[in-house]
Copies of this chain bind each other. A is one copy, B any other.
Amino acid sequence: MQANLILLIDRSTQNRSDEMNEQNATRENLVRAGFELFHRQGYGATSVSQILKSAGCNSGSLYYFFPTKEDLLIAVLNWCLENLWPEVIEPVFERISDPIERVFGILDGYRKMLVITECQQGCPIGNLALELADNHPRVRELLAQNFSQWRQAVEGSLRMASDRFPESTDLESLSLFVLTTMEGAVMLARAYRSLDAYDSAVTQLRNYIERLLLEGSTWGK
């Protein structure tokens, strides 16, 4: 039951294990275990021994690959950076072709995570951002990169429909606003342990975007 919680992991396990040599299997296991545990419990609340147990190896192996626990975290965040597109964005884009609905498809993907985890797990990056942005400079930079990549995916999609928005629309700012909404909504859904807060926010966002589109279509083609 726990093993399948994170959709990210399952897909990429199958995709990548073939093309990997035996040598780095342990390293990969550690990164995956780190990702899942940091996501579920946070960075500070996850002990190295938990990671070792989950990855099925001993401390010597971890410290062979990573000088410190923080270096493992950095590897995890780089792993997220590599996997966002193939594992989160592209599956949605394959299923949905309308550029606006693709954005809401991404939001629906995060909703699925809330459903599966009964509102106990949100965005893996968002969690770490609030925990670590202050006192871990290298980590903060990687968190920002992860957010930027997410935002660019949304912006790219919105830009395909740029002619449907009013001319003055700032699509970069609007795509960042989508991310803002998603992160805030996930936070509230977890605090309330209810999907209502998430759905309510997405409804408001959709309302806003529909008004923009309505205005865009009124003012000539």
A residues at B contact (CB < 8 Å): 40-42, 44-45, 120-122, 126-127, 129-131, 133-135, 140, 143-144, 147, 173-174, 176-177, 179-185, 187-188, 190-193, 197, 200-201, 203-205, 207-208, 211, 215
Contact = CB atoms under 8 A, between A and B. Distances in A.
Contact of A184 (B134, B173, B184): B184
A201 B151 CA distance: 13
Interface of A is mostly: helix
A210 to B, nearest CB: 10
A179 B188 contact: yes
Taking the full assembly, how many copies of this chain does it contain? 2
A120 B211 CA distance: 35
Closest 7 CB pairs of A and B: A184-B184, A180-B184, A177-B204, A183-B184, A208-B208, A133-B190, A180-B201
Given A140-B191, A180-B184, A181-B181, 11 more contacts: A44-B45, A129-B187, A130-B190, A133-B193, A140-B193, A143-B191, A144-B193, A180-B187, A180-B188, A180-B201, A187-B187
B181 A180 contact: yes
A205 B129 CA distance: 23
Q: Among A42, A121, A182, which residue has the most Cβ atoms of chain B within 10 A?
A: A42
A133 B120 contact: yes
Residue from the set A130, A143, A144 with the largest chain B CB neighbour count within 10 Å: A130
A100 to B, nearest CB: 16
B147 A191 contact: yes
A124 B211 CA distance: 34
Contacts of A215: 211
